[in-house]
Amino acid sequence: MAEQPYIGRKEKAPDRVAFVSGRAHFSSDFAFEGQLHAHIIRSPHAAAKIRSVDLSGALKVSGVKIAIDGAGAAEHLDPIPHHIDPIVFGGRTTDLFCLAQDHTRYFGEPVAVVVATDKRTAQYAASRVVVDYEPTASVTDADLALKDDAPLVVLGWDDNSIMQVPFCGGDAEAAFKDADHIVKTQVRVHRQATQPIETRTYNAIWDEGGQSITLYASAQNPHPMRFALAKTLRMPENRLRVIAPSMGGAFGLKMHSHPEEALICLLAKLTKGAVKWTENREECLLIGGREQTHDIEFALREDGRILAIRDHFLANAGAPGATPGWGMAFLTGLTMPGPYDVGNLDVWANIVVTNKPPWSACRGFGKEITALALELCMDKAARELGLDPVEIRNRNFISSNDFPKKTATGLIYDSGDYAGALAKTVESIGYYDVKRNQEKWRGEGKYIGVGLGYEVTPEGGALPGTMVAGYDTSTVKVDPGGSVTILTGVTDPGGGNRIGIAQIVADELGVAIEAIRVLQGDTQTCPYGFGNYSGRSLIVGGGSAALAAQDIKEKIVKVAAALMEVEEGSIKIYRGVVTSSAKPESELSFNEVCYAAYTRAYDVAACIEQPLEATRTFKPGLISHLPDEQGKINPYPSYSNAAYAAVCEIDPGTGVVKLLKFAVTHDCGKAINPVLVEGQACGAVAFGIGGMMGEEIVFDEGGRQKTRNFEDYVMPRAADVPEIVMKHHDSPNPVTFMGLKGAGEAGVGGSAAAVVNAVNDALAHLGVEINDLPVTAPRIWSAIQKAQSAQKAAES
């Protein structure tokens, strides 16, 4: 085992100065010679026939280079390949195009596009495009979309369901019959959106000589995006290069198969120039997710042990889209029953299409909704059975002795100590202090509550037959001068995984971290890779870079041993200094050995094959795509998990919630860099808090989206988030490099559940329970009013 001066340390980003001085380059910062700008015309209707599109007014504007509509684009473009085609999972599919043709299925659907010499001209010219729409009946509510007389979102389908899929195991029906108690609730999760502060940009440059396109893109998955672009553009992948520069946050939004990607490439090809499009915030807010309604029931024994869970849920996935959005609802079902040891499951997902804009991936990828549904029902069970919320969870957690644990849906959890993590969070938040003082505070008119949430987040996923792969690849190169370059297939969405990968390689090679440069996000220079999603980047990016570094280290050790005339086993490399226990008096620098490796290939370095470069793939174990006897697979190698707790105070006069405290205990396996882990965890907590307290995408009766900017979509600001008390509770994963579990995705659902449970705890004395989310002030206020008038009525 190499010595580890860097792993586990709070190492800082080597390029940090660029980010605080304005020198880092994001996709929208690039401008090329003759740069053109695109403006997209979008549907103002949730559903309409498109009778005609008249581009002539736009084409007359001086400075306009091209304007096309759906029919024009279809001459050059094939349908966009689905990131995850529902048909692979037995669902319904449909062809999806970059621009709508005969009809539009959602408000904001791209209908036409104008390209001009500058943004203002493009925007002005776009206003002169005349589209003749004939609005048709639309449906935005998932319940209504399933009625017999509902308008069909996709013409030709029998109904509005992508698929109905069971996640069942054991004998739930018998368990419900035998139960002492049945606890039911409806958890309604509203539509939310990821909203990185950097929106998407695509800037495509046509090269006439090479008949090729270079695309600068806010792209989490450059290689798979290139595959999709090639299909849509009818070009081979080797004529396309995707470059993903620094990314200003992604959270799933920048996974590929958005309609604008191939469209902008086509426009570059047709104008033989450089065409850029930057999404505005209103456009970005169209892309949503998370909207689900769960009718969840627990069958319980007297002592609070859960015998079975039934949950038939509806997901409102919006109109069909080619991004992987719809798959989130599948994962919600698959992740049941979370951290709990419940073998009898009757869970059904009905994934419904409506005339809302399509879902795209949202951090948590559906697994956060599993946590919300389970944790809200768990607190209801605690209230109804008169049990403490800590106690009822402890009675149902999978025991730390039971790993690896196969769940009723076929997942195989690698490791964990859920009760241990919860105990740490309970201590951090001062849980029993709140419980002890709650009555006294209520007497003083203060409504203070404490809530818990637990989340198990499968990470590093691999779905068979899709571009969601479980493995990834890195190349490590060491130059004659001793500098180290890592080229990796995983991208950095902005969380800083490049720092963690550099730490791992620095320790494997025994060099100073300053000698290392990590390059990511370029299909021409990086090995084929799948990019960033599913908390995978350090598991597979770090794991593959470690393997490649080990290969190179072996060569360097051989050369060093030859140079020093000692046994290989006596060589040690530490922070760039090579020593041998056989000759303690002499030492070499790492750089000298590298120089010899390249320049003395016929004497001392004859023992190795030059150059000092290696490409390796890390393919984590535990993933199983061979169905078991019940037809179930395990698509994940790793199951990170965490315990969350919130303390809130509610102003009874206004319903305004103030979060007083927040605590997390996180199990991401080995923490390569505690600052990165803290950053991921705290960021996810802010997502959970924001999602429950302010963020909500709403539509009018005609299906037009009303949420258009950050005044409507209220994300948490610095004063809304309390200091988060963060603890680690590592239980290493036996099948990944160094026991990594992934730290990027967990936390949205557990923290959201903690907030809602804290609100309901604060209001418990009034008999108020709000599981219809979000828990915004108006909802809380009216629930308090209702409860108080009911109390008064009862008293009089």
Residue 721 found at the interface with another protein (CB under 8 A): yes
Residue 282 or 592: which CB sits closer to another protein? 282
Q: Rounded distance, CA 446 to CA 438, Å?
A: 9
Cross-strand pairs, 278: 201
User: Helices 327-334 & 367-385, crossing angle to 10 degrees?
Assistant: 40
Site for another protein in 199-218 (CB under 8 A): 199
| Candidates 20-28, 92-100, 365-373, 438-446; binding stretch for another protein (CB under 8 A) | 20-28
Q: Rounded distance, CA 169 to CA 10, Å?
A: 44
Residue 630 found at the interface with another protein (CB under 8 A): no
Residue 81 or 690: which CB sits closer to another protein? 690
Number of residues that bind another protein (CB under 8 A): 65
Token pair for 372: 């919300």
Residue in this structure with the two tokens 């191939």, named with its chain if needed: 262
- Give the torsion sign (CA, 545, 548, 553, 556): negative
Residues 192, 697 contacting (CB under 8 angstroms): yes
Q: Pick the binder of another protein from 7, 247, 511, 643 (CB under 8 A).
A: 247
Q: Pick the binder of another protein from 63, 79, 135, 576 (CB under 8 A).
A: 63
Residue 64 found at the interface with another protein (CB under 8 A): yes
Site for another protein in 30-49 (CB under 8 A): 31
Residue 372 found at the interface with another protein (CB under 8 A): no
At position 230, the amino acid (one-letter code) is A
Q: Rounded distance, CA 589 to CA 600, Å?
A: 16
Residue 683 or 702: which CB sits closer to another protein? 683
Alpha helix positions (H), 665-722: 674-693
**Of 154, 166, 165, nearest in space to 318 by CA:** 154
Burial of 794 from C-beta contacts in 10 A (0-12 / 13-18 / 19+): exposed
Token pair for 318: 């919006």
The mark string for 491-510 relative to another protein (x by CB under 8 A, - otherwise) is: --xxxx--------------
| Residues making up the chain, counted from first to last | 796
Residue 660 found at the interface with another protein (CB under 8 A): no
For residues 149, 151, 155 and 157, what is the CA-based torsion angle, rounded to 10 degrees?
Answer: -50
Site for another protein in 271-290 (CB under 8 A): 278, 280-281
Q: Rounded distance, CA 591 to CA 577, Å?
A: 9
Q: Pick the binder of another protein from 69, 198, 261, 696 (CB under 8 A).
A: 198
Residue 710: how many CB atoms within 10 A of its CB? 13
At position 589, the amino acid (one-letter code) is S
Residue 675 found at the interface with another protein (CB under 8 A): yes
Q: Pick the binder of another protein from 49, 51, 184, 717 (CB under 8 A).
A: 717
Residues 598, 591 contacting (CB under 8 angstroms): no
Residue 56 found at the interface with another protein (CB under 8 A): no
CA 182 vs. chain centroid, Å, equals 34
Q: Rounded distance, CA 201 to CA 219, Å?
A: 9
Residue 663 C-beta: closest distance to another protein, Å: 12
| Candidates 28-36, 303-311, 609-617, 776-784; binding stretch for another protein (CB under 8 A) | 28-36
Residue 706 found at the interface with another protein (CB under 8 A): no
Q: Pick the binder of another protein from 44, 151, 652, 683 (CB under 8 A).
A: 683
Residue 116 C-beta: closest distance to another protein, Å: 9
Residue 694 C-beta: closest distance to another protein, Å: 12
Q: Rounded distance, CA 476 to CA 489, Å?
A: 12
Residue 665 found at the interface with another protein (CB under 8 A): no
Residue 75 found at the interface with another protein (CB under 8 A): no
Residue 195 or 771: which CB sits closer to another protein? 195
Residue 64 C-beta: closest distance to another protein, Å: 7
| Candidates 10-18, 335-343, 380-388, 544-552; binding stretch for another protein (CB under 8 A) | 10-18
The residues binding another protein (CB under 8 A) are 10, 12-13, 16-26, 28-29, 31, 59-64, 119-121, 124, 194-199, 246-249, 251, 278, 280-281, 493-496, 675, 678-679, 681-687, 709-711, 715, 717-719, 721, 723-724
